Amino acid sequence: MTPANPQFEQVVRESFTRQGLMQTLGARLASVVPGSVVIEVPFAPGVSQQQGFFHGAVLGAIGDSAGGYSALTLLAAGSEVVSIEYKINFLKPAVGEVLRATGRVVRSCRSVSVCQIDIEVLCAGKVSLCGVMQATFMRVDV
């Protein structure tokens, strides 16, 4: 996949730092390449649910952001994205030390992009798929 903006990584990283929710969750960008972005969140009491594993809303939030930023990596300068919709399937409880969302662009057009996102949890050196998402994003001018 070829980015339309050679400064795509800088654009994504600067946008990510402006997201208050990602800061609140303690999220970090682990990888930014054309058509794919990885976001990780370390486990902490503030991202847990009552049974002690990652809250489903955290899976949705980092999945949405990983997909949106994946779409943004391929768009022209002066672009941003907003979510149109997403669907998430929770496959198993997200028990572990780190939650990771890997977004990948399936189709990128001038105004709409479709992405798939795998959400994994790292626990005791093992990686397990705990959620999958499909999301659609709309390009907007900055």
pLDDT string in tens for the chain (142-residue length): 899 999 999 999 999 999 999 999 999 999 999 999 999 999 999 999 999 999 999 999 999 999 999 999 999 999 999 999 999 999 999 999 999 999 999 999 989 999 999 999 999 999 999 999 999 999 999 8
Q: How many CB atoms lie within 10 A of CB 32?
A: 20
Cβ neighbourhood burial of 105 (10 Å; 0-12, 13-18, 19+) = buried
Edge-first strand order for the sheet with 36-42 is 28-33, 36-42, 98-108, 112-123, 126-141, 79-90
> SS3 for 51?
coil
pLDDT at 1: 84
**Pick from 124, 137, 113: nearest CA to 3:** 113
- 18 CB-near residues (< 8 Å, 6+ apart): none
pLDDT at 8: 97
pLDDT at 112: 97
What domains can you pick out in the chain, each with its CATH number? 8-141 (3.10.129.10)
